Amino acid sequence: MTPNFAIVRIDGPYWPHYRLWLPLFLLWIPAVLLSPFLFLILLVVCLGAGIDFVRAVATLWALLCSLPGIDVRVCTQGKKILIRIL
């Protein structure tokens, strides 16, 4: 499953909560349109670095599909940032 939404929440001691829903599925439209160029760039990089192209594509796809469920929390001096990818 690919990531569809990201929720960014910012809490501060002197201002109210901010919660922002980012629709990541809208990024798939330009990604699909640019995919031939992205694959070509990845192929050139893999050939230059001596990496197997199929293995690199499989690794990138596995990394992309593992993004849903990520929960990153950063807290410092009363300020909090939460990033969740659904």
- Who has greater pLDDT, 46 or 4? 46
Domain boundaries, the chain: 5-85
Q: What is residue 25's predicted lDDT score, i.e. its pLDDT?
A: 87
Residues whose CB is less than 8 angstroms from the CB of residue 70 and which lie 6 or more positions away in sequence, other chains included:
83, 84, 85
Give residue-wise pLDDT tens across range 41-85: 999 999 999 999 999 999 999 998 888 889 999 998 888 889 999
Q: Is the pLDDT of residue 2 over 80?
A: no
**Rounded-to-integer distance, Cα 10 and Cα 16, Å:** 9
